[in-house]
Amino acid sequence: MQVKSVLLTGAALLAATSGALASGFQINLAAQKNIGMGHTGTGLYLDAASQFFNPGALVFAPGGFLIGGGAAFPRIAFRNEFGTAEQRTLQNKAVYPFSAYASFGPKDGKFKLGLAAYTPFGSELHYAQGWEGRYALTDITLQSVFVQGTASVAITPQLSVGAGLVMLAYGNVDLQRDVPIQGQGAANPLHAQLSGTADRKFGYNLGVMFKPSDKLSVGISYRSAIDATVSGGDVTLTNVPTSAAANFTATKFTATLPLPSTASIGIGVRPTDKLTLALDANLVSWSVYQSLDLTYSGGVLGGRPSSTSKRQYTDALAFRAGAQYKVTDKFTVRGGAFYDQACVPDGFITPETPDADRYGLTTGFSYAIGQRFGVDGSFLFENFMQRSQSQADLVTNGTTDRVAGTYKTNVLVPGIGVYVNF
């Protein structure tokens, strides 16, 4: 039975080959004081971090410099739909978001200028070796650093506006997955790694703050979407069987990951000199992310020049509440909570973003060491609802390039920062 040639189109093998950049990959850890208060800030004017939350509020905030960072510890558990395999977890690694803000302006407080750097999107997950979903994703690293220049003007003592020019200064993606084709005598299947850096792109943010009295402030802000495009990223393939090599010749890839816009409204209330209360609502327009499309160059991957994987995210709302209380002149404590809607619809959950509705609890403190200098600390706990999708859901949605099962995620983020007020 000698068949003269076997066509290794491999299309089916690889229909999903590269379906995996990340999402739900927003990192809401923009500044230590705000984290402590449930990541509110649109209606507040605490410090130079207003550049992120509401550039309109910057002019009312004290000028200064602050820098902070945290370590996010995601803890994901996965069970296959049929639950016969053991529970899978991540190879635990931390992600380190950071931020820095500076602002300055004239004594009369008519305007302020600011500079900022922060990490609004990112993800890093390394699944356990040999887990069931390895043909969807084994590893993902997604990093972004935004820098922003901001101007904020007080039109009246009650009303201010502000705008920021935002640049995606650095973006980096590294996606890895196994490909279901294996060589004779090979211990592992083919492995594909797609890695590259994003092009520099510009966006903006805008904000308005209305402050009828010292006891009340209301803000709205908008942050534009930015398309993060990786062009000419590297394709690295290992364990390619010789006979299949002609179908795995790609050397470069191009992909675009839309980073969504955010519209926010917030309110700040100060019933006493010591107490500040804040409420925020955010609408994140995740619906811009409909599919992940990869185009290969230098050859093909799995016999194909491109691939597409459905995302079909939906816009998501988040509600946040926070409070801070000035215990002494030097010591301030904070607390907050938030509820964040999932942007990934049922049947579309991917291992790179095991998204789910989640709530979070936060706490934090500030300690003033001198007139101008102080330390901020924060701690965030985020609890994702357990979420399942069945193989039948995947078949219905045409999303069989991912795994059926149940995900449960917790995230812990301790953070620390320092500030200087000018």
The residue ranges that bind another protein (CB under 8 A) are 1-13, 15-16, 73, 75-80, 82-85, 87, 89, 132-133, 135-136, 180-186, 241-244, 331, 365, 367, 369, 375, 377, 379, 381, 384, 386, 391, 394-395, 400-404, 406, 408-410, 412, 414
Report the distance separating Cα 119 and Cα 139, nearest Å.
20
3-state DSSP call for residue 34?
helix
To another protein, the closest distance from the beta carbon of 273 in angstroms equals 20
Token pair for residue 313?
């995210």
Phi, psi of 386 (to 5 degrees): -65, 135
Q: Which of 101, 244, 125, 105 is nearest to 175 (CA)?
A: 125
3-state DSSP call for residue 233?
strand
**191-226 core/surface letters (b: 16 or more CB in 10 A; e: else):** bbbbbbbbeebebebbbbbebeeeeebbbbbbbebb
Nearer to another protein, 210 or 381 (CB): 381
Question: What does 42-94 look like in DSSP terms, one character per residue?
Answer: TT---STTHHHH-GGGGGGSPPEEEEEEE-BEEEEEEEETT--SPPEEB----
Nearer to another protein, 185 or 213 (CB): 185
Nearer to another protein, 5 or 272 (CB): 5
To another protein, the closest distance from the beta carbon of 298 in angstroms equals 22
Nearer to another protein, 265 or 416 (CB): 416
Output Rg (C-alpha) for the chain, integer angstroms.
24
Nearer to another protein, 124 or 401 (CB): 401
To another protein, the closest distance from the beta carbon of 5 in angstroms equals 5
To another protein, the closest distance from the beta carbon of 245 in angstroms equals 10
To another protein, the closest distance from the beta carbon of 414 in angstroms equals 5
Nearer to another protein, 158 or 188 (CB): 188
To another protein, the closest distance from the beta carbon of 402 in angstroms equals 6
The three-point CA angle 44-356-91 to 5° equals 100
3-state DSSP call for residue 365?
strand
Nearer to another protein, 169 or 412 (CB): 412
To another protein, the closest distance from the beta carbon of 186 in angstroms equals 8
To another protein, the closest distance from the beta carbon of 52 in angstroms equals 24
To another protein, the closest distance from the beta carbon of 286 in angstroms equals 22
Spatial CB neighbours of 314, under 8 Å, sequence gap ≥ 6: 286, 287, 343, 345
To another protein, the closest distance from the beta carbon of 194 in angstroms equals 16
Amino acid occupying residue 153: V
Neighbours of 349 (CB within 10 A): 26
- Distance from the first to the final alpha carbon of the chain: 84
Environment class of residue 172 by beta-carbon count within 10 Å: exposed (0-12), middle (13-18) or buried (19+)? middle
Nearer to another protein, 258 or 377 (CB): 377
Nearer to another protein, 155 or 246 (CB): 246
Nearer to another protein, 80 or 148 (CB): 80
Specify the DSSP class assigned to residue 346: T
3-state DSSP call for residue 225?
coil
